């Protein structure tokens, strides 16, 4: 009975930790998972100096990260198990999409 309570407490701590993960601090890495044709989480809020790492967790699709509105070139296409990353220094709102799949969109919000 006591073990059951301890295990449930640990589960709560782990759940809180996972929920807070996208709120990374400067110099840290925030991860965006790509799965089933979606960027997860779709909206990520970070502090300046944070690196965002997009990880392709698909079975077979390849994707890219394309900050089209900023006029930047599309990232290389990356395959399952591969990733791509970018560090954000300046506060602002950075919308992006996937190169080959324009319906896949996400936003990185950088604020102090």
Contact footprint for Cu ion (CB under 5 A): 63, 98, 101, 104
In 3D, which of 57, 58, 74, 77 has the Cα closest to residue 66?
74
Residue with smaller CB distance to Cu ion, 49 or 61: 61
Nearest distance in Å: CB 96, Cu ion: 11
- The answer to whether 44 and 32 have CB atoms below 8 angstroms apart is yes
For the purposes of burial, counting CB atoms within 10 Å of the CB of 27, is it exposed (0-12), middle (13-18) or buried (19 or more)? exposed
Taking CB atoms, the residue at the shortest distance from Cu ion is: 98
Nearer to Cu ion, 55 or 98 (CB): 98
Q: Minimum distance between the CB of residue 52 and Cu ion, rounded to whole angstroms?
A: 16
Query: Under a CB-based contact definition with an 8 Å cutoff, are residues 25 and 50 in contact?
Result: yes
User: Residue 24 or 75: which CB sits closer to Cu ion?
Assistant: 75
> Comparing C-alpha atoms, which of 21, 69, 49, 54 is closest to residue 112?
49
Q: How far is the CB of 63 from Cu ion (least distance, A)?
A: 3
Based on CB atoms, which residue is closest to Cu ion, 33 or 49?
33
Q: How far is the CB of 77 from Cu ion (least distance, A)?
A: 8
């Amino acid at each position: 009975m006591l073990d059951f309570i301890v295990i449930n407490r640990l589960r709560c701590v782990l759940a809180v930790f996972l929920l807070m993960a996208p709120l990374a601090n400067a110099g840290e890495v925030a991860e965006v998972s790509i799965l089933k044709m979606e960027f997860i989480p779709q909206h990520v809020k970070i502090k300046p100096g944070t690196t965002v790492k997009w990880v392709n967790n698909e079975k077979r699709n390849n994707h890219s990260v394309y900050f089209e509105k900023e006029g930047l070139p599309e990232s290389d296409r990356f395959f399952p198990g591969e990733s791509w990353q970018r560090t954000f220094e300046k506060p602002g709102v950075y919308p992006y999409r996937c190169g080959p799949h324009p319906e896949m969109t996400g936003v990185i919000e950088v604020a102090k």
